[in-house]
Amino acid sequence: MPTIVVAGAGPGLGRSTAHRYGREGYQVVLVSRRAEPLEAITAELRDAGIATHPLSADLSDPDRMAGAGCSRRRPPR
Protein backbone atom coordinates (compact mmCIF):
# COMPACT_ATOMS: atom_id res chain seq x y z
CA MET A 1 0.00 0.00 0.00
CA PRO A 2 1.46 3.40 -0.92
CA THR A 3 2.00 5.89 1.89
CA ILE A 4 1.76 9.66 2.02
CA VAL A 5 3.04 11.86 4.84
CA VAL A 6 0.94 14.96 5.42
CA ALA A 7 2.97 17.49 7.39
CA GLY A 8 1.00 20.27 8.99
CA ALA A 9 -2.13 18.16 9.28
CA GLY A 10 -4.46 20.97 10.28
CA PRO A 11 -8.08 21.70 9.44
CA GLY A 12 -7.40 23.23 6.01
CA LEU A 13 -5.13 22.00 3.24
CA GLY A 14 -3.62 19.18 5.30
CA ARG A 15 -7.04 17.72 6.05
CA SER A 16 -8.14 17.93 2.43
CA THR A 17 -4.92 16.34 1.21
CA ALA A 18 -5.21 13.49 3.71
CA HIS A 19 -8.80 12.73 2.67
CA ARG A 20 -8.02 12.87 -1.04
CA TYR A 21 -5.07 10.50 -0.94
CA GLY A 22 -6.78 8.25 1.58
CA ARG A 23 -9.72 7.81 -0.81
CA GLU A 24 -7.23 6.91 -3.55
CA GLY A 25 -5.89 4.00 -1.48
CA TYR A 26 -2.93 5.55 0.32
CA GLN A 27 -2.25 4.98 3.98
CA VAL A 28 -1.86 8.39 5.57
CA VAL A 29 0.75 9.48 8.10
CA LEU A 30 -0.41 12.71 9.73
CA VAL A 31 2.15 15.02 11.36
CA SER A 32 1.08 17.98 13.46
CA ARG A 33 2.43 19.97 16.39
CA ARG A 34 -1.03 20.30 17.90
CA ALA A 35 -2.88 17.27 19.25
CA GLU A 36 -6.47 18.50 18.82
CA PRO A 37 -6.60 18.80 15.02
CA LEU A 38 -4.48 15.66 14.70
CA GLU A 39 -6.96 13.63 16.76
CA ALA A 40 -9.97 15.02 14.90
CA ILE A 41 -8.57 14.33 11.42
CA THR A 42 -7.36 10.87 12.48
CA ALA A 43 -10.87 10.00 13.66
CA GLU A 44 -12.43 11.28 10.41
CA LEU A 45 -10.07 9.24 8.27
CA ARG A 46 -10.45 6.07 10.32
CA ASP A 47 -14.24 6.42 10.24
CA ALA A 48 -13.92 6.53 6.43
CA GLY A 49 -11.92 3.27 6.50
CA ILE A 50 -8.58 4.93 5.71
CA ALA A 51 -5.41 3.53 7.29
CA THR A 52 -4.10 6.43 9.34
CA HIS A 53 -1.05 6.89 11.56
CA PRO A 54 -0.92 10.12 13.63
CA LEU A 55 2.38 11.60 14.78
CA SER A 56 2.53 14.62 17.07
CA ALA A 57 5.85 16.31 16.33
CA ASP A 58 7.47 19.62 15.47
CA LEU A 59 9.16 19.28 12.07
CA SER A 60 11.32 22.32 12.72
CA ASP A 61 13.19 20.52 15.54
CA PRO A 62 15.33 17.60 14.22
CA ASP A 63 16.04 16.31 17.74
CA ARG A 64 12.35 15.99 18.54
CA MET A 65 11.69 14.33 15.18
CA ALA A 66 14.38 11.72 15.92
CA GLY A 67 12.73 11.08 19.27
CA ALA A 68 9.42 10.54 17.49
CA GLY A 69 10.94 7.76 15.39
CA CYS A 70 11.73 9.78 12.27
CA SER A 71 15.09 9.93 10.61
CA ARG A 72 16.62 12.58 8.43
CA ARG A 73 17.92 11.23 5.14
CA ARG A 74 20.14 12.79 2.57
CA PRO A 75 18.61 13.30 -0.85
CA PRO A 76 19.84 10.92 -3.55
CA ARG A 77 22.70 12.14 -5.72
Tens digits of per-residue pLDDT, 4-39? Answer: 999 888 889 999 999 999 999 999 999 998 888 899
Domain count, the chain: 1
Kindly give, in sequence order, each residue whose CB lies less than 8 Å from that of residue 6, ignoring residues fewer than 6 positions away.
14, 17, 18, 21, 28, 29, 30, 31
Rounded percentage of the chain residues whose pLDDT exceeds 90: 55
Residue 70 pLDDT level (bands cut at 50, 70, 90): low
Cα 10–chain centre separation? 10
Q: Is residue 72 in a domain?
A: no
- Which domain covers residue 27, as residue numbers? 3-60
44 pLDDT more than 60: yes
Q: Is residue 68 in a domain?
A: no
pLDDT at 65: 61
Q: Is residue 34 in a domain?
A: yes
Q: CATH number for the domain including 31?
A: 3.40.50.720
Q: Is residue 20 in a domain?
A: yes
Query: Taking the model in full, what pTM does it have?
Result: 0.78
Cα 1–chain centre separation? 15
Q: Is residue 56 in a domain?
A: yes
Q: Is residue 47 in a domain?
A: yes
Give a three-class secondary structure readout of 34-71. CHHHHHHHHHHHHHCCCCEEEEECCCCCHHHHHHCCCC
